[in-house]
Amino acid sequence: MKRVFIGVTILALLSMAGWAEESSSTDDQMPSEDADTLIPRELLFGNPDKITVRTSFDGPRISYLAPKDGVLNVWVGPIDDPGAAKPVTNDTYRGIRSYSWTYTNEHILYIQDKDGDENWRIYSVNLTSGEIKDLTPFEDVQARIQKVSRNFPEDIIVGLNDRDPEYHDLYRLNIETGNMTLIQENREFSSFDIDEDYSVRFATNMTPDGGADIFKPTEDGGWEIFSKIPMEDMITTGSVGFNKTGEILYMVDSRGRNTAALFAMNTTTGVETLIAEDPKADFGGWMRHPTEMNVQAVAFTYERKHWQVLDDSVADDLAYLQTVDDGDVEVLSRSLDDKTWIVAYIVDDGPFRYYRYDSEKKEAEFLFTNRKDLEDKPFAKMMIPVIIRSRDGLNLVSYYTLPLGSDQDVDGRPEEPLPMVLYVHGGPWSRDVWDYNPIHQWIANRGYAVLSVNFRGSTGFGKDFVNAGNLEWGAKMHDDLIDAVDWAVVEGIADPDRVAIMGGSYGGYATLVGLTFTPEVFACGVDMVGPSNLTSLIETIPPYWQPEIEVFATRMGDHRTEEGRKLLRERSPINHVEKIQRPLLICQGANDPRVNQNESDQIVGAMQERSIPVTYVLYPDEGHGSARPENRMSFYAVAEAFLSHHLGGRFEPIGDDFENSSITVPVGAEEVSGLKEALSTDLPDRAL
């Protein structure tokens, strides 16, 4: 599956692994009895009923991920009778999180790693015979699906770093036999652009200044520079695919402008033609015809997602779909004849709602939601996005959620200031959006306000906003978070004495910065897989990220220079541990290849040396985030008790939420009420 942007691997650096999916609610508050309803963690963080819903390319079948014996697997069935679907995979432990149809319509592809190590293997399922084949059975090798084309239904292009851990060579792979043929040895490039005929058309490599050169193959087998991307455009510029003939390469491009617009680039001349733009937001997705591959609509998200319709042939379809159900419309899948669409409706206070749409009849049929048990639960509204001004004048698009019943006059402010959790997104080159957010709902249901801020460096708001975060880790990026807390206090949303900071990955780093750099602002912190030492973070990145190392050097600090190492030391929480005054909870996956276990071990050890209390939760079978729902629920049970003790909100007892989890607590179980007892009762060898 082709990388959408040149730096997408790095963009995902400090983002938590988790679920992603592709009834206008009124402003009336729920009845007071609903405000008292404690929504079980199992409903919020357990497996969905059905998710990642797709139609087969020929149209008669539907697929989705759903639990089989409690573990997510791929199910396939007739699209006219989704209830008759049966599992076609047999994962028994970690669960499948990503899959796709092939153009044979008789095979499913999926990827799986081992305990979160991100050494993905590619598997093929023959739907006729039921055979499951490991197509890339290599140890300590990461496989990537690079291209799938309907011109070659039985073959795909994959990348393997089997020859050199830093570079992925390209192979043509037969999904039925497993036979592979090398088509491009790679000794220097970070990514390739491959057309529908499986020709390698362009290659990209980073430059020492943090930009990139795009190369085109020459007739003698070499490469020549075709185009250049300056450093300031690196994160907001990249290719997204070819047209049907391969004569046009679609580019998301911010060169010579601020927001990233969609362009059609002539592959011979390099001349670009503007397709769609927005003055406030970057390109955020598109719709293309499934066979003609022309662009039909483009999405942009500033506060909420909106679509620009470019092709009149889908204007009536999208207009009709807007009338079918409440929420934001997402077209997830389309058959090649374009008669069958799978459509989802996204709201902020309930589960996704899936429909099958017949584009000929202009009729939509409801299929199911992703979580039936959530359909009648008392969820809070995510407030209409607010714009918080940073101290130096930037607009920070932010989202907050209040507990039900706390805003009786429906003015977006609680009757009295509440304990609040500042929940910081990962990346940092990603963003928060308006949608159903289980973290927001969980925190609000426990009696807290919750605020998420698109601080500088977040994507989606133009390159100027992204670049404002360059070399500002632990500095102006953190100032934005503090400015948001101050805003919430002034607005009467947050009680200044009861504000927690929490986040995963980069959000975990932000948590550690919050407790070290601004030790009196937060009452406590919850760090999930966050780096504590920026120097060791960069020095231990996976080898296949080395081709994009200049992203770190130009945007975090250059570990190869004394000046850069000095900056990284200054911005590393590990070097300010003695300033910590407030309680800290840390979660880590032992197999995390992005933020390895040493990042958490370092700060836990430093706190122990100084007799500073800390609770450390470690999972031996997880990587960068929790894939197994048993592990998710066990950690959130701990975090819920931790927040309740320090902020005063309510909590659901741990109960049996440790069952089948691999949770261990090497340090500080006694710091969280009920944790040591739960471990000694259910898992006597895991409280060390």
Residues designated catalytic: 505, 592, 624
Q: Which long-range contacts (CB under 8 A, 24 or more apart) does 321-328 make?
A: 321/357, 321/364, 324/355, 324/364, 325/23, 325/353, 325/355, 325/366, 326/23, 326/24, 326/25, 327/23, 327/24, 327/353, 328/304, 328/434, 328/435
Beta-bridge partners for 71: 68
Give me 251's structure tokens: 């580019």
Residue among 319, 343, 318 nearest 331 (CA): 343
From CA 539, how far away is CA 519, in angstroms rounded? 28
Compute φ and ψ for 5, nearest 5 degrees.
-120, 155
From CA 574, how far away is CA 577, in angstroms rounded? 6
From CA 86, how far away is CA 73, in angstroms rounded? 10
Instruction: Show Cβ contacts of residue 408 under 8 Å, excluding neighbours closer than 6 positions.
Output: 29, 415
Beta-bridge partners for 524: 500
602: left (phi over 0), alpha (psi -120 to 50) or beta: alpha
Burial class from Cβ neighbours inside 10 Å (0-12, 13-18, 19+) for residue 674 reads middle
Give me 210's structure tokens: 């943090």
Indicate the residue type of 531.
P
Indicate the residue type of 638.
V
Sign of the torsion formed by the C-alpha atoms of 667, 673, 675 and 678? positive
Instruction: Show Cβ contacts of residue 515 under 8 Å, excluding neighbours closer than 6 positions.
Output: 501, 522, 525, 573, 579, 580, 581, 582, 584
Instruction: Show Cβ contacts of residue 566 under 8 Å, excluding neighbours closer than 6 positions.
Output: none
From residue 479, give the alpha-carbon distance in Å to each of 11, 393, 455, 475, 583.
22, 12, 9, 6, 21
Beta-bridge partners for 391: none
- Structure letter (DSSP) for residue 545: G
Measured from the Cβ of residue 8, the count of other Cβ atoms closer than 10 Å reads: 15
